[in-house]
A and B are shown apart, each in its own frame.
Chain A
């Protein structure tokens, strides 16, 4: 599962089209000549879906095998993440939330007046894109879930080995039982056979 593109967009009722402020893409899976057209399609999808998304709402729209997760905050700042079908929506939204928070923090209010597309440079966007390529690493819940699964597996193996240990201990008990019985017999027979010659 991978993320193909990421865009921070400014929406508002005063604009007839949402303005993308920052865009980051990861198009290495496409052929060199396709990349430009793919990027244009991403931008087009972003703008279209952003226009349709209300402030304070999250949406996930599927298009040609790729899913676009859109989120618009209440103050008009929004973002889209384009991923393939397997990527969990929840992680995408968490990522968007964090990214938008950081963006708003860094940029202050300056983004509210921007009208030229892709004019704001925000390097953390690229970082986020790379980091979230593997949702298990970046999203805490996914990480915890993975750790838990591992731990459960390990525990199952442990229980199996403890059961084996139980069986072996059982064997040991039996054998030691036999040993003690045998040694007792040995003692008795030794005493008996040697008692007759001691006197004389």
Chain B
């Protein structure tokens, strides 16, 4: 009976309406079809985002290959810088879109059925985790790169005279890097490193919005890469600075003698503008010291509270143990008193039994005697 009914199937498929059939929902609310439309849009945007993440990862792999080569040629350097900027802009864009998408997903979740909502949430989480991976890989690559460049400059410092290093400009295309704000922050070498994942690991934020990647930086102590402008800003989880905006906000830490001179001029100017600089500075220092003391006090109190909390557990254990000991001793006392009682009463019985025995023995003796 089985015949080739392919042509029937094809005819049927063509006869069906072009788009998906309108959903039949148990609620039957009027806005359902809109909700499903939005869900479809959400899915398409999510697909777009994942495609872009894949593209970014590809660029990232290219960049990491270049970095791993070690001492790089100038054209590789240019390519690396280009890649870095590209990746950074893509990450920014992706971050914004992911945020948007998760917001819309949250809104729609209530309208759409439970399963679709869960599926959307899972997809969001998946996207977010891949995005976080990509960002952390990016950060690692950047760190590797800064390490390489440090080695390079150390090596070249040994080779060239230090005074001439200013003219020789060991890293020619770093000057073009004032724009890329990726180099914001210092790691232990005293070189900038971008900490993209600092907030991505934040435990507080998981459903509401994607934690923004942003960098930590601390003060930069003298360096010989003068073209780098490490950017400094406060790393506050609450403020959630966007990637691009905050990194352009402030700049600090001059590096060349020229910059130091300029800064001293500025300072002289400041002295003319604010003649009380020392006094005000002293006041500011005093206040900041007071503030740090108070903060320290706060942490000490917290530690104290934690310690006492631990002790609570121990005290409970002691209480339990002593309680058990008490119970045991009570029970054993009961046993002993029972024994005593029975001993007291039994003595009479034993006495009688014994007397009966004695009588028997006497009877035996008399019998046999």
Interface residues of A (CB under 8 A from B): 54, 56-58, 60, 88-90, 93, 141, 144-145, 148-149, 151-152, 155-156, 158-159, 162-163, 165-166, 169-170, 172-173, 176-177, 179-180, 182-184, 186-187, 190-191, 194, 197-198, 200
Contact = CB atoms under 8 A, between A and B. Distances in A.
9 contacts: A145-B286, A148-B290, A162-B308, A172-B314, A180-B321, A183-B328, A184-B324, A187-B331, A197-B339
> Looking at chain B, what size class is its interface with the partner chain?
35 or more
B275 A58 contact: yes
Interface string B299-326: 0110110011011001101100110111
B279 A187 contact: no
A172 to B, nearest CB: 5
Contacts of A166: 307, 310-311, 314
A76 to B, nearest CB: 16
B332 interface: yes
Main SS of chain B's interface residues? helix
Contacts of B304: 155, 158-159, 162
B169 interface: no
Given A141-B290, A148-B290, A198-B339, A183 B332 contact: yes
B206 interface: no
A89 B280 CA distance: 11
B287 to A, nearest CB: 7
B321 A191 contact: no
Given A162-B304, A194-B339, 4 more contacts: A60-B278, A148-B294, A155-B300, A166-B307
B360 to A, nearest CB: 18
Main SS of chain A's interface residues? helix
A148 B293 contact: yes
A156 B300 CA distance: 8
Nearest to A186: B332
Contacts of A60: 278
A148 B283 CA distance: 17
Contacts of A180: 321-322, 324-325, 328
A93 B300 CA distance: 34
A156 B299 CA distance: 12
A141 B303 CA distance: 27
B346 interface: yes
Contact of B343 (A149, A151, A176, A197): A197
